[in-house]
């Protein structure tokens, strides 16, 4: 007999094809019938450089086989993070190592923060579309209040009023809103919040005495103007109680190291929050070897500066290659992207243009999902981001050219052929299962 908590989880444990597709990766020589994965947000453009650095410079000693200094992260790592982030995020107030809680990933940091800042049944505001793994209800019991924008720019000044309207509407329904969650640079839109909009959102949070959590995991992957503004770079005096402001960052995206599983929460003015998180940190203990490797890397200024500059150059080139392909094949996409690893593409509209006999939009999307599956290309569907338009898909372009080109060609073939195409080799995944829309997890 399961606990009631576990029983409550069973209905939401739906099949998620993403994990199975990742077990069947495409390789032009070894597995040409595998899946090309342009759905998972991994930066694979710099893996050779990072591996070479690790091989040459990462001296391993016996302490990495121990618990080291406990679950909060070693002093050396927290010093390295404070120094590195203070420099790259242009921190207004110096970041102290004691203000950093290290975890095994940014999503874990977020869940910890939600658990500490809100009781079960209380909520965070979350602007649509949003990163699909932000489901805080599963363990913390914290609800999300999706904020719709209609024709308003989700990152523009008009969005602030939408957040306030959503907050007041939630209150009218008896929902206690404890915070507002931002992802900047935005996932999946690939844009940075302008400084003046961030200041207005901070003022809104102060007005209603709610927390602002800023996920800045793509902060160092801004490859075109306008520049990125970190919450840490702002002088909060006279704008908001600084104990309400918290920042998340990790190595997964900017350094192309998703598998290292290391993130952190920075709360400069809320000692009580840090104390609460320290009490549960053992459940999110980053491995000692990851702790050591990340500290070693972040302390090497010459390497990180050159690495990040080259990563941004390659990301810009990959974005240009992707959008030129989309333009050439008349596939609409959201403009203005200048950061992160992906483009937000309107494949639904492109599909209906090529198949005008399909008049039902929902039917078109279901056919498109099946067509992508049959072409063995995986994308993250907008429905898993609570997109206001079901036509949208996130295409990750941070891949070597040959891999990216293969994926883009398969997308175009799916749009052309629809469900009439049948693959030469059958997949081990049953097609009668939900496709691209089962389970909220989108890495």
- Which of 299, 326, 344 finishes a domain? 299
- Closest listed residue to residue 251, CA positions, set 215, 221, 294, 288: 294
Give the integer Cα–Cα distance in Å for 321 and 87: 31
Are 147 and 190 in the same domain? yes
Q: Is residue 410 part of a domain?
A: yes
The CATH number that applies at residue 398 is: 3.90.1150.10
Q: Is residue 441 part of a domain?
A: no
- pLDDT for res 80: 98
Same domain, 320 and 194: no
pTM: predicted TM-score of the whole model, two decimal places: 0.93
In this structure, are 101 and 227 located in the same domain? yes
Give the per-residue pLDDT at 429: 55
With CA atoms as reference, report the closest residue to 67 among 288, 286, 264. Answer: 288
DSSP β-bridge partners for residue 263: 103, 250
How many CB atoms lie under 10 A from the CB of residue 443? 17
81 with 209, same domain: the answer is yes
Contacts of 260 (CB under 8 A, 6+ apart): 251, 252, 290, 293, 294
For residues 39 and 125, state if they share a domain: no
Q: How many domains does the chain have?
A: 2
Residues 115 and 202 in one domain: yes
Question: What is residue 419's predicted lDDT score, i.e. its pLDDT?
Answer: 80
CA dist 160 and 169 (Å) reads: 14
CA proximity to 372, closest of 6, 27, 9, 18: 18
Which of 299, 324, 353 is where one domain is finished?
Answer: 299
Residues 344, 290 share a domain: no
> 192 and 235 share a domain?
yes
Domain check: are 179 and 316 in the same one?
A: no
- Distance in angstroms (rounded) separating the CA atoms of residues 370 and 211: 41
pLDDT number for residue 438: 44
Which tokens hold the place of 285? 């203990």
Contact indicator for 99, 324 with CB cutoff of 8 Å: no
Q: Is there a domain that residue 240 lies in? A: yes
Last residue of a domain, one of 242, 267, 299: 299
How many CB atoms sit inside 10 A of residue 427's CB?
17
Residue 151: CATH number of its domain: 3.40.640.10
Q: Does 266 fall in a domain? A: yes
* CB 383, CB 351: distance < 8 Å: no
Q: Give the residues of the chain that fall short of pLDDT 70.
A: 11-16, 133-135, 421-442
Cis amide prior to 99 (ω within 30 degrees): no
- In-domain check, residue 10: no
Whether 170 is in a domain gets the answer yes
Question: How far apart are alpha carbons 320 and 40 in whole angstroms?
Answer: 19
Q: Is 433 within the bounds of a domain?
A: no
- Are both 136 and 256 inside the same structural domain? yes
In-domain check, residue 437: no
Respond yes or no on whether the N-terminal peptide bond of residue 38 is cis (omega within 30° of 0).
no
Domain that holds residue 114: 67-299
Q: Are 136 and 249 in the same domain? A: yes
Same domain, 187 and 323: no
């Amino acid at each position: 007999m399961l606990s009631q908590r576990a029983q409550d989880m069973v209905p939401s444990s739906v099949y998620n094809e993403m994990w199975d597709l990742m077990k069947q990766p495409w390789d032009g020589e070894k597995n040409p019938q595998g899946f090309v994965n342009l759905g998972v947000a991994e930066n694979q453009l710099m893996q050779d450089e990072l591996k070479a650095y690790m091989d040459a410079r990462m001296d391993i000693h016996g302490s990495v086989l121990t618990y080291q200094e406990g679950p909060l992260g070693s002093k050396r790592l927290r010093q390295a993070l404070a120094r590195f982030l203070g420099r790259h995020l242009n921190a207004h107030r110096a970041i102290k190592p004691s203000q950093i809680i290290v975890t095994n990933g940014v999503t874990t940091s977020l869940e910890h923060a939600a658990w500490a800042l809100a009781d079960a049944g209380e909520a965070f505001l979350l602007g649509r579309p949003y990163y699909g793994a932000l489901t805080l209800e599963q363990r913390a019991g914290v609800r999300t209040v999706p904020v719709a924008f209609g024709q308003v720019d989700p990152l523009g000044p008009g969005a602030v009023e939408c957040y306030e309207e959503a907050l007041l509407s939630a209150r009218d329904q008896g929902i206690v809103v404890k915070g507002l969650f931002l992802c900047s640079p935005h996932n999946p839109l690939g844009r940075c919040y302008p400084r003046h909009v961030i200041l207005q959102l901070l003022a809104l949070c102060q007005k209603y005495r709610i927390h602002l959590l800023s996920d800045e995991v793509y902060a160092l992957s801004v490859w075109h103007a306008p520049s990125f503004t970190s919450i840490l770079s702002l002088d909060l005096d006279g704008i908001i109680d600084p104990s309400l402001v918290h920042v998340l960052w990790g190595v997964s995206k900017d350094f192309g190291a998703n598998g290292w599983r290391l993130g952190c929460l920075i709360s400069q003015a809320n000692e009580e929050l840090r104390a609460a998180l320290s009490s549960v940190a053992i459940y999110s203990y980053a491995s000692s070897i990851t702790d050591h490797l990340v500290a070693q890397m972040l302390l090497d200024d010459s390497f990180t500066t050159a690495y990040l500059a080259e990563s941004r150059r390659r990301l810009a080139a990959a974005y240009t290659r992707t959008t030129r392909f989309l333009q050439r094949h008349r596939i609409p996409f959201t403009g203005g992207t200048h950061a992160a690893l992906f483009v937000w593409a309107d494949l639904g509209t492109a599909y209906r243009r090529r198949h005008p006999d399909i008049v039902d939009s929902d039917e078109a999307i279901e056919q498109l999902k099946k067509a992508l599956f049959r072409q063995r290309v995986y994308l993250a569907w907008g429905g898993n981001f609570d997109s206001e338009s079901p036509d949208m898909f996130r295409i990750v372009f941070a891949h070597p050219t040959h891999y990216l080109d293969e994926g883009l060609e398969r997308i175009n073939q799916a749009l052309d052929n629809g469900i009439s195409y049948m693959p030469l080799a059958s997949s081990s995944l049953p097609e009668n299962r939900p496709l691209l829309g089962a389970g909220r997890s989108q890495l």
